[in-house]
Structure 1
Amino acid sequence: MLDAVKDILLQILSASSFIFLFQWWLDQSHIIRRNRQFPDDQALLIICCAISITLCTIFSTTLFGVVYLNLAILPAYIGILYGNFRSGISLAAFFMLCTALFSVPPGIGNMVVNIGVLMFPLLFGFVRPFKKGKIIQKIGVLWAVLAPSMLFIVLVPKMKGRNIYETLSADTLLVTLYLFITIMLGGLFIFCIETAWDKLQIKEQMKGISEKFKLESEKLQQITDAVQLNIMSMDDSGYVTELNEFMLKLIHRHYPELTRETIMSQPAGQLFRKYIDEQTYSRLENIVRSKQRTNAKITCATSTYQIYTEPLPQDSGIPGGIVMIVKDLTEEAKLRSELDNVERLTLVGQMAAGITHEIRNPMAVVRGFLQLMREKSPGELDSYYQIVMDELDRANAIINDFLSLAQTRVSDKEMVQLHLIVEELSPLIWADANLRGQSIELRLNPSLLLLMLNVREIKQLVLNLARNGMEAMDPKGVLTLETRVNEDRVELMIKDTGGGISTSQIENLFVPFFTTKNHGTGLGLSLCLSIAERHNGKIAVESQEGVGTVFTVSFPFEKEENAATTRLLK
């Protein structure tokens, strides 16, 4: 009796081996899946079933020398139901081979009975509905083929005249228990396999969700890094949990030594503690602590920031932190201040232009009466009259320059070559140079492209720059005027051999009323820049003290427009 119990337990362990082996292999995550039906897992299940069949068949025996004891029928039937047709045929053939080699007692008749060959057609017919069914339905399908097979195995001895069921003995109870355990084990094995696959599927789904969540988190981080906003999130305690690159750069502006890891290990309020006053710090700390939507403006050192906060709700609806968006308003505030100044200056300029225009009329009257008085006065007073008239002329010239600088009307332009304008002005420039004992050198390019220019304004620009150069030189100085093409621009270079201009003075050359001359108005270069800008041009200055200065005026041109205009002129 004890030996029979040991044999049954050994068979149970051998039959269960494919479940343990299958579960262990799944836990190792060695399987590479190709689709949702887990074909690799099914192949592994067939292999595990074959191993279990081998073990059960090797340890097969008989109970009390009558009932065949071999639970290989469990892994064989389960493997056939879970596999495809080819793997099922192979597993059935392997089951038959093992039974033929190790069955007790031997013989074809015993082999046919012990493996339930008669149930194979029904078993293969149940494969398709088995795979489509739920777990209870699968257990029912297995029992439908397993119960008849096991009953046939148990009842065969009675058919052969070796009846052990005539009396209700311990042997009869043990055989009945064996039959019941076998059927229950089949259902338990199906449950274990389905549970293992469900866990595997859940694991795969969780892995996919985790990878998707990680990918979405990375995308979100890339988006926050790409958006030109300073974004930072904090937990319930006010500690920094995440920040984007723009926020990191903003913090580095005040704390260049801090790393991302250092920032994320301290409260957000500490980041601004050093550069803000106590009242602003308390206000900022209250914003973070309240975890409410806020919109506040703070000043940190010399910078101004607009702070937006929004609470982050958890699944239960309880605030789970806060996100802060910081907008740097420093440049905007400066620009707004400059625009206000520009508006005020524009208004002042318009008023001044109107006033200066009205001043010219009484000045003309005063000059006219001075001339009449000069004619009727003694000759010794001529010098005094001349001083007053010169000063009036000088004041009138200043007014003319100021009005030219303040005008905003659109000038009339025409297609013309720049070197022709310089050639027209060359006699006047030569005359001024001769009076000063200086010389002029012209390097004009006759193949310059046509430009849309206002000839009168360009003449004024050239004369102003040429006379500035001559005033900066001593006698014997040389003034060079050169025209050339540089990529997509036509350039006019006016070079003198004067004393040069210092770097600090170059920065303020085009500021109105700034001058390096003793009797200058400070409007000449401002007027030149205004003219150049009205022609979409630029003025560059290069100077070396003791050597000279070069003013380069450049104008853009369009090759296609030039080609079309040249064809029309021809």
Structure 2
Amino acid sequence: RSLQGKFILIFIALVIVTNGLFAVVGFSRENIYTANEAVEAATFLGNIMQRPAAAYFDNGNSEILDRIVAYRTGIAVQLKVTLYDANWWRLWGDETRIPPEGFPDLRRVKSGDQLNGSGIINREILFPLNVAGRLLGTIAIGIPHVDLLRMRNTGSEFTLILILGCIIGMSSAILLSRSLLEKLEQLTDAIESFGKGDYSVQVASTDTGEIKDLADSFNRMALTVQETFRENLQRNRIIDEKLQELWEIYELTRNMSLSVEFGVILEKFLEKAQTLSFSCCGQIVLQNRYSQKLEPAVSSEQLLNVVHHEVYENALNSCFLDGALIEAEIESCSMIFVPLIAANRVKGVLFLSKNDRHGYSDGVRRFLETIAPVAASLIENAALYEELAIWNQHMKNILASINSGLFAVDRKAQFIVNNEQLRNITEAGDFSFIGAGLKSFCEHIPDRNFAAELSATVENYLNLIFAKEPEELRVCKELELNVKTGKRVVEILLTPLYSNSDIRGVVTVINDISEQKNREQQMIETEKWAVLGRLAASVAHEIRNPLVAIQSLVEIIGDEVQGDLKEHARVVLGEVHRLNRVVAELLSMVRPEMAHLRKCNLKDIINELLLLVRHEAARSGVKLVVNFPDDLRQVSVDAEKIKQAILNILLNGIQAMKDGGQIDIGLSDSESRLQVSIANNGPEIPPDLRERIFEPFFTTKASGTGLGLAITRKIVELHGGLVELESDAVRTEFRIILSHGDVNGQADR
């Protein structure tokens, strides 16, 4: 046979044997890898599920466990995963699988222990859950029979084919000439080395013909594989670098996004950039929103050498103006300036430097250029959040500084904003305005009438402004508000709340105008007394002189006539005396007075008054009852004026009880004040008359002057006290309240 025929025969035999062996070896490795991969996949799956499983025992949330199982790939999809508690009760995962020997004692089980399986499961791998020394349960991962069966079948096939290959190889070697085998021995060794991973192997061929061609082909193949392998290594290295950069960017973004504090974000960003670029000095320079100047926002502990500042300033300005990365080298220092760009605008510059003259690598530059826009966006968002927080605090300070109650509601009467003074004015207590509506707020206002009126006013105004075309609609309304300290008069101002040109709701301002109303009332009273003063002066001048003449003539006539004429003269004289008394009382009301204070015992003053009115009370069938404490401190008063004030109340009470009755006079003393109470069981004073009863010239009696109670209040106020009145169908009570001390009556009134 020719050498070519021998080569063909040997080549065919080698191809059959070699390809068969490689196929068997590859298939066998695949099966063996599948079995090992199943165990490794089970071990990996059990390890990564430890922490989510422990969290499941704490909060019952299986979201992470479900995601891990859902995202399985490859051989891990066929694994059975079940979570048991410490008593082997299934909590989550696939159905319960009972080992043939039963469930073991979990306290003796270690992570990775294996049990025999049952059914389609060949074995169970256990991963106990121990948290802080406490056994929670275990994760059981079952490996099905199919993978191990494939491994055994593959092993049998591998053994059978290996034997057949050996037989065929040996037969071929025997059949072929030893001379040809010797020539191919070198090529065979090269192939074996190549198969072991030595891609640099070369075959030296001195023969000619087909053997040389085969050796050359092998050498070319080895060179091609070696070059391809090198390219793949380089490509994998680049991919690893990119993945590392992406991971670092993710970590940086995640850490920065966990905080909204502007300074913390800047510090984290600078620290990360400085660490990953192997820099010893770093700084973040931002543009001031107001001055538009570049100002350092955060710097590293180590600062740039002073001699490099000129280069630093020039490069910093160029980087900010051009928006491009700039590198500078001077002496033994390398510097890099990276623009922080967000929304196509340069917000600042990241500066880094290190103590060498080799500059920064391309990888570092690419990394810094990649993270700079991300960091710029986070920095911009944090700056906006900080500015918003400052404006929000300003708004809170403004609202807190307003003395009026203020709130704004939307069209559904839900609160948008309010201040603390609103709660103080309405005495709404600890009501929370967050997410609340106007109705729920009004339910917490103690004065139910005011609450109902406020709610109706705001709701009607809302209906009004949303029903009409937008225009300047303002409403002002006065309401009475009863609080713990008394009665207040409040002014309700309502105006639309605009958002651009659209009405969003209503702004309501509640002003406490009680003091303003009191001042207005005082001005009215002052003007009234001024008019009365002028009137009294005119009356005294124009009436008293004629009355003196009339009185003299009537007295003369009364002395000269008899009978009915004398009686008539007496009546006229009585009316003249009454007119003189009215004029005297009127002058007493309007004349400026000062109380001359001295220490007095009110019991003595009242006892003197009782002697004066005793006969008048007896004629009207009125019983006088006193209730004085044994120990009563003296009080600084003008005795004559206080006597007049109490006398007017006593006489009014006697005159009001035409059918008789009882008047109770009492005294009560406290640390700061003394109270005189005069109560009778006469008719009730109607509510509409209780305020007017102290006005000058107001009377319900046919012959009254209407000045008695007005004089009483003026005298009490002259002493710095006050007069109170309560009246119902059973009892009418006047209370004169005086303060202890010498502070009363020291000014002209």
Q: Is the 8 A contact 1:22 1:44 kept in 2?
A: no
Q: SS state of the match for residue 693, structure 2?
A: coil
Measured at CA, do residues 417 and 195 of structure 1 come closer, stay the same or move farther in structure 2, by a change above 3 Å? farther
1:164 corresponds to which residue? none
Larger Rg: 2
> Out of 365, 369, 378, which is 1:203 matched to?
378
Query: Using the alignment, how far apart are the partners of 1:29 and 1:525 within structure 2?
Result: 80
Mapped pair 1:5 → 2:231: yes
1:159 corresponds to which residue? none
Letter in 2 for 1:144: H
1:257 corresponds to which residue? 459
Measured at CA, do residues 300 and 428 of structure 1 come closer, stay the same or move farther in structure 2, by a change above 3 Å? closer
Deviation of 1:540 (Å):
1.8
Q: Is the 8 A contact 1:42 1:82 kept in 2?
A: no
Q: Is the 8 A contact 1:529 1:538 kept in 2?
A: yes
Measured at CA, do residues 39 and 351 of structure 1 come closer, stay the same or move farther in structure 2, by a change above 3 Å? closer
Q: Is the 8 A contact 2:476 2:492 kept in 1?
A: yes
Q: Is the 8 A contact 1:305 1:330 kept in 2?
A: no
2:430 corresponds to which residue? none
1:144 corresponds to which residue? 358
1:431 corresponds to which residue? 615
Measured at CA, do residues 521 and 7 of structure 1 come closer, stay the same or move farther in structure 2, by a change above 3 Å? same
2:540 corresponds to which residue? 357
Mapped pair 1:38 → 2:268: yes
Query: Using the alignment, how far apart are the partners of 1:555 and 1:338 within structure 2?
Result: 22
Query: Using the alignment, how far apart are the partners of 1:501 and 1:453 within structure 2?
Result: 29
Query: Using the alignment, how far apart are the partners of 2:368 and 2:568 within structure 1?
Result: 122
1:18 corresponds to which residue? 244
Alignment of 1:409-424 (within 5 A): 409-424=593-608
Query: Using the alignment, how far apart are the partners of 2:253 and 2:552 within structure 1?
Result: 112
2:725 corresponds to which residue? 541
2:145 corresponds to which residue? none
Deviation of 1:45 (Å):
6.3
> Out of 641, 644, 649, which is 1:460 matched to?
644
Alignment length, in residue pairs?
A: 411
Mapped pair 1:405 → 2:589: yes
Deviation of 1:475 (Å):
6.1
Letter in 2 for 1:433: A
Deviation of 1:488 (Å):
2.0
2:389 corresponds to which residue? 214
Alignment of 1:160-199 (within 5 A): 186-193=361-368, 195-196=370-371, 199=374
Measured at CA, do residues 384 and 273 of structure 1 come closer, stay the same or move farther in structure 2, by a change above 3 Å? farther
Mapped pair 1:523 → 2:707: yes
Question: Which segment is superposed worse, 35-44 or 417-426?
Answer: 35-44
Question: Which segment is superposed worse, 187-196 or 221-230?
Answer: 221-230
Mapped pair 1:489 → 2:489: no
Deviation of 1:218 (Å):
3.9
Deviation of 1:194 (Å):
5.7
Question: Which segment is superposed worse, 452-461 or 347-356?
Answer: 347-356
Structure 2: unaligned runs, 5 residues or longer:
1-226, 283-329, 339-349, 409-414, 423-437, 443-450, 480-490, 745-749
Query: Using the alignment, how far apart are the partners of 1:551 and 1:140 within structure 2?
Result: 92
Query: Using the alignment, how far apart are the partners of 2:375 and 2:510 within structure 1?
Result: 51
Q: Is the 8 A contact 1:367 1:392 kept in 2?
A: yes
Q: Is the 8 A contact 2:680 2:733 kept in 1?
A: yes
Query: Using the alignment, how far apart are the partners of 1:442 and 1:139 within structure 2?
Result: 99
1:170 corresponds to which residue? none
> Could you report, residue by residue, the CA deviation over 1:69-110 in whole angstroms, capped at 9, with x for unpaired residues?
xxxxxxxxx569899xxxxxxxxxxxxxxxxxxxxxxxxxxx
Letter in 2 for 1:5: E
Query: Using the alignment, how far apart are the partners of 1:461 and 1:414 within structure 2?
Result: 17
Q: Which has the higher strand share?
A: 2
Deviation of 1:375 (Å):
1.0
> Out of 432, 444, 460, which is 2:628 matched to?
444
Measured at CA, do residues 346 and 195 of structure 1 come closer, stay the same or move farther in structure 2, by a change above 3 Å? farther
Mapped pair 1:385 → 2:569: yes
Q: CA RMSD in A?
A: 5.2
Measured at CA, do residues 474 and 329 of structure 1 come closer, stay the same or move farther in structure 2, by a change above 3 Å? closer
Measured at CA, do residues 513 and 543 of structure 1 come closer, stay the same or move farther in structure 2, by a change above 3 Å? same
Q: Is the 8 A contact 2:252 2:272 kept in 1?
A: no
Deviation of 1:468 (Å):
1.6
After TM superposition, the score normalised by the length of structure 2 is 0.45
Q: Is the 8 A contact 1:232 1:325 kept in 2?
A: yes
Q: Is the 8 A contact 1:374 1:382 kept in 2?
A: yes
Q: Which has the higher helix share?
A: 1
Q: SS state of the match for residue 256, structure 1?
A: helix
Query: Using the alignment, how far apart are the partners of 2:264 and 2:492 within structure 1?
Result: 54
Mapped pair 1:532 → 2:716: yes
Letter in 2 for 1:20: L
> Could you report, residue by residue, the CA deviation over 1:411-468 in whole angstroms, capped at 9, with x for unpaired residues?
3222222222112223212232334344322323353222221111111112111122
Measured at CA, do residues 208 and 386 of structure 1 come closer, stay the same or move farther in structure 2, by a change above 3 Å? same
Deviation of 1:195 (Å):
4.8
2:661 corresponds to which residue? 477
Q: SS state of the match for residue 424, structure 1?
A: helix
State percent identity of aligned pairs: 19
1:224 corresponds to which residue? 399
Structure 1: unaligned runs, 5 residues or longer:
47-77, 84-125, 147-185, 234-240, 275-280, 286-297, 314-318, 563-570
Q: Is the 8 A contact 1:480 1:495 kept in 2?
A: yes
1:499 corresponds to which residue? 683
Query: Using the alignment, how far apart are the partners of 1:338 and 1:540 within structure 2?
Result: 18
Measured at CA, do residues 271 and 300 of structure 1 come closer, stay the same or move farther in structure 2, by a change above 3 Å? farther
Q: Is the 8 A contact 1:19 1:193 kept in 2?
A: no
Letter in 2 for 1:38: K
Q: SS state of the match for residue 552, structure 1?
A: strand
Q: Is the 8 A contact 1:252 1:258 kept in 2?
A: no
Higher relative contact order (CA 8 A, sep 6+): 1
Q: Is the 8 A contact 2:333 2:353 kept in 1?
A: no
Mapped pair 1:270 → 2:465: yes
2:735 corresponds to which residue? 552
> Could you report, residue by residue, the CA deviation over 1:142-190 in whole angstroms, capped at 9, with x for unpaired residues?
88389xxxxxxxxxxxxxxxxxxxxxxxxxxxxxxxxxxxxxxx32433
Alignment of 1:228-307 (within 5 A): 228=403, 255-257=457-459, 270=465, 284=472
Query: Using the alignment, how far apart are the partners of 2:713 and 2:351 within structure 1?
Result: 92
Letter in 2 for 1:449: R
Letter in 2 for 1:557: H
Deviation of 1:481 (Å):
2.0
> Could you report, residue by residue, the CA deviation over 1:367-410 in whole angstroms, capped at 9, with x for unpaired residues?
12210121122343111001111111122222222222222322
Query: Using the alignment, how far apart are the partners of 1:459 and 1:140 within structure 2?
Result: 99
Q: Is the 8 A contact 1:229 1:325 kept in 2?
A: no
1:396 corresponds to which residue? 580
Q: Is the 8 A contact 1:472 1:499 kept in 2?
A: yes
Q: SS state of the match for residue 527, structure 1?
A: helix
1:508 corresponds to which residue? 692
Alignment of 1:278-357 (within 5 A): 284=472, 342=525, 345-357=528-540
Q: Is the 8 A contact 1:488 1:556 kept in 2?
A: yes
Measured at CA, do residues 475 and 9 of structure 1 come closer, stay the same or move farther in structure 2, by a change above 3 Å? closer
> Could you report, residue by residue, the CA deviation over 1:298-329 in whole angstroms, capped at 9, with x for unpaired residues?
776899999999x999xxxxx999xx999899
Query: Using the alignment, how far apart are the partners of 1:502 and 1:305 within structure 2?
Result: 30
After TM superposition, the score normalised by the length of structure 1 is 0.58
